[in-house]
Amino acid sequence: MLTFSKFITEQHFFLSEESVSDISGKMHENLVHKELMGGKHPSHNAEIEHDNLKSRITSNEYNNAVARAKHAANHIRKHIIGNKKVVSIERTSKPGQTGESQSDNTSDLVIHYTGKKKHGLSLKTARTYGAKVPVSNPGLGTLKKYTGVDSAKHYKSALAELHRKHPHTAGMSTSKLNNEIKNNPKVADSAKEIGDKHLKNTLQQHAKGIKKMSSQDRANFIKKEVLRNAKTLFPVSKVETSGSGNKITTSHADQDSHDHILNDHTNISHRVSGNSIVFSHPSHGDFAAIRFKYTSRFGSAIKGSGELKGKKIAKHIS
């Protein structure tokens, strides 16, 4: 019989070290950096990372990743760098890599200009043209650090409920269980019912965990994990690129710190709405949210996505 720990290992459920979106994001960072460096990898380690990531995706996905990176780099040169003199462009994916750890810098790349001036780039990418890219992707492992909610434990109970309804699924491997959910209408109906309940329960439990935080801790959580607007000493632009083939678009907007709201943290509230935890302020209304959804269906990872609410930010689009 497939043990739960083995199921977690096979499925990489919740705490996957490298999901499809992680690979896509890291590849985008790597390739944009390469393009901005004149088409050459900035280091041997960057080249190794590139080759490793490339081996994990199809040739078609890689070609589209290259196309998006070229489009993003051209946009950055035209609309952000312009005529300014660039000294270097460094990546900040690892803490301390450029002296700007991720705890105090939300950039993926930092452009260094003459005069010791800097400009950060928070890179986002999506395969669908014009897709709304989340401002953050807090995983359930990250949320657990703040809320104390063990999502894997809750999933174990949900999986046991599916097995009680359909005993023949209890000994199935991950791939067989996924196929059974996909191809057996009765199991699919049960999986959807249980999955919807599990998703809602996960949402409710994390909302309760957030409620237990002090107002200051909650504001810090929203800033760091939901809005990804950690304090920096230089401007940061969110650069979004989406599409594939010959239909690609890139836009950028200066990052709003939301400090005018977060500093008044005692007046911030949150509620569950649909599949989201929505954060609100009496003077500004809804301003941020975390939306929860499965990567595909019950049995795949639950993803959290940080989203802006309310205020529309002017974007430069190409």
How confident is the model over 51-93, as pLDDT tens digits? 999 999 999 999 999 999 999 999 999 999 999 999 999 998 5
- Range of 84's domain? 20-141+212-317
Kindly state whether residue 269 falls inside one of the protein's structural domains: yes
Does some domain include residue 135? yes
205 in a structural domain: no
Q: Which of 39, 125, 117 is nearest to 81 (CA)?
A: 117
Does residue 170 belong to any structural domain of this protein?
A: no
Note whether residue 220 is domain-resident: yes
Residue 89 falls inside a structural domain: yes
* 183 inside domain: no
The span from the CA of 232 to the CA of 240, in Å, is 20
The helix/strand/coil state of 263 is: coil
Residue 13 pLDDT grade (very low, low, confident, very high; cuts 50, 70, 90):
very low
CA 7 to CA 155: how far, in whole Å?
11
Residues in the chain: 318
**Closest to 68 measured CA to CA, from 131, 18, 118:** 131
Structural domain contains residue 194? no
Indicate the number of domains in the chain: 1
pLDDT tens for 282-313 read 999 999 999 998 877 787 778 889 988 876 56
Pairing of strands 276-281, 109-113: unpaired
Please give the angle made by the CA atoms of 110, 115 and 117, to the nearest 5 degrees: 30
* DSSP at 227: S
pTM: 0.73
User: What's the Rg (C-alpha) of the chain?
Assistant: 21
Four-CA torsion 18, 24, 28, 30, nearest 10 degrees:
30
| Overall average pLDDT of the 230-247 stretch | 84
User: What pLDDT, on a 0 to 100 scale, did the predictor assign at position 312?
Assistant: 59
